[in-house]
Amino acid sequence: MKIKIYRTINLPVVLHGCETWSLTLREEHRLRVFEKRVLRGIFGPERDEVTGEWRKLHNEELNDLYCSPIVVRVNKPRRIRWAGNVACMGEKRYIQYFGGET
């Protein structure tokens, strides 16, 4: 249930307008850190079978539990789709929007 809430509420809020972003390495890192932090909160710690102590899940373990694409990888297809939509608009829409001759 927590994963459904994350996908339907948190991700759309975080990725709002991502089609127009030009992500730098720093911003990509921040998005990955955010995603891992949320996933660690959802899946919680794991008890070590040998020592019996609680430990944080490693990134590989989180990737195995959460089978959806990483938040940074979601951005590229959205940018390509947005660029296609802008290319199909044509010049007439640009002139109408910004004023000038029609």
Residue 56 token pair: 């944080």
Q: What is the mean pLDDT of residues 68-74?
A: 78
Task: Work out the angle between the directed axes of helices 25-43 and 71-89 (0-180°, nearest 10).
Answer: 130
Indicate if the pLDDT at residue 100 is higher than 60: no
pLDDT band at 96 (very low <50, low <70, confident <90, very high): low
Q: pLDDT tens, 28-37?
A: 898 888 888 8
For the chain, the domains span 2-98
pLDDT band at 97 (very low <50, low <70, confident <90, very high): low
Q: Is 54 helix (H, G, I), strand (E, B) or coil?
A: strand
* Confidence (pLDDT) at 61: 87
Indicate if the pLDDT at residue 99 is higher than 70: no
Indicate if the pLDDT at residue 101 is higher than 80: no
pTM of the model: 0.64
